[in-house]
Structure 1
């Protein structure tokens, strides 16, 4: 029987992307000015705090990664629209290539004066990732944040305990697994950032390269 499931929706790619997501959050927080470049909720809260205190410079500092995230969503949708029906390369592979380019460039930028620029770039990258990879085995999930995954994991666990639905248990374990690998990515990112500084971001490119190669070699990947 011919396999039709897209490689971009597999559990393997989900955990690879979760590792990258956790790594980048730790990286920007530890060495790029205590900014969570993945999930923008923290930045929005800090923006509100600084606006209340009339600290305009700090407020602007947190506005930039938020705007970069918005731009990333727009760019991802544009890539999908322009390359959705191309047979030579899948549009999600192009998204990963853009991510790789941005992160490689970020690693060359020194700590300190360029932190704001790097946070903007990483926020942009995370927006591309969260927009392009939204399904895992048919279920909605995220690879750059954990709140939604934690909710879905627990919801499916409850349904399994109530109805003994094996699929709900499988879904729950997959969601929890993604969270675990996000934590692993954050731990590895923290350790390497403390020892490698700005260049640590290049290590996260290994995960993205693995994602690109997996999609490239998966012959059953179809455009949607």
Structure 2
């Protein structure tokens, strides 16, 4: 039977990726120098603050993950351009594999001196993820930040209250669900990071591995 929806756009993958996103944000904030490596808004604000204070060292510290995020977007688009029509493997699976490699390597980096490098790697990973997975059941969303999801969830809720359109209610609940799982990922990430330290990032790889396997299984079924 022909599939009408890509696995990469399913609600299941959205919540798995949201857990990973929340986990990584908690990880970098707790044990990697209080940097939000997922959404760059906080880093941009802190960059501006330290530039104003002429604290060039701290300004550079927050500029580096922003630059890594930009690089991640460029790399993701490059992967899509060169591998979009390859049959052997989906380009999004390559993106997930690259994420896994980066996070596994990050787990070996010691706390303290290597924090800047790890934050760069996590920012890079989050850029790959947010660029590669942008649709959930046809709707735009994000797995590494919540502001846009919160806006979309509440907007759809208002539309449901106004029109009683159940499709709007479904969209709203799915957006809120992604936010809940992001929070859950942050909570788990906080607990495990406090217990495991630098190695805690490896736990987030479980979610990415599940995403990779789900996409692989879906591709196999589609070709069968």
Distance 1:214 1:204 in 2: 16
Matched ranges for 1:51-90 at <5 A? 51-90=51-90
1:204: which partner in 2? 204
Q: What is the CA-CA distance between 1:164 and the residue it aligns to?
A: 0.4
Q: Secondary structure at the match of 1:207?
A: helix
Contact 1:92–1:132, Cα closer than 8 Å, also in 2: yes
In the alignment, the residues of structure 1 paired with residue 212 and residue 129 of structure 2 have an alpha-carbon distance, to the nearest angstrom, of 12
- Residues 58-207 of structure 1 mapped to structure 2, 5 A cutoff: 58-207=58-207
Kept in 2, the 8 Å contact 1:6–1:221? The answer is: no
Instruction: Provide the rounded CA distance (Å) in 1 between the counterparts of 2:2 and 2:155.
Output: 32
- Show the counterpart of 2:17: 17
DSSP-derived class of the 1:63 partner? helix
Q: Check the 8 A contact 2:2/2:222 in 1, yes or no.
A: no
Report the alpha carbon displacement of residue 56 of structure 1 after superposing the two structures with TM: 0.4
Distance 2:41 2:102 in 1: 22
2:21 and 2:139 mapped to 1: Cα distance?
Answer: 18
Relative to structure 1, the CA distance from residue 76 to residue 221 in structure 2 (aligned partners, 3 Å threshold; closer, same or farther) is farther
Asked whether 1:28 is paired with 2:28, we answer yes
SS in 2 for 1:204: helix
CA offset digits 1:72-95 (Å, max 9, x no partner): 000000000010000010000000
Partner Cα distance (1:127, 1:161) in 2: 35
Structure 1 unpaired stretches of 5+: none
The residue aligned with 1:217 is 217
Count matched residues: 222
Cα distance in 2 between the residues matched to 1:59 and 1:112: 18
Shift of 1:221: 6.2
Gaps of 5+ in 2: none
TM-score, reference length from structure 2: 0.98
Structure 2: distance between partners of 1:221 and 1:21: 28
1:156·1:172 contact (CA, 8 Å) conserved in 2? yes
Where in structure 1 do 4 or more consecutive aligned residues deviate above 4 Å?
A: none
> Is the Cα–Cα contact under 8 Å of residues 215 and 221 in structure 1 kept in the other structure?
no
CA distance in 1, matches of 2:78, 2:72: 10
Cα distance in 2 between the residues matched to 1:221 and 1:194: 42
The 1-side partners of 2:222 and 2:186 are apart by: 29
Return the offset for 1:4: 2.2
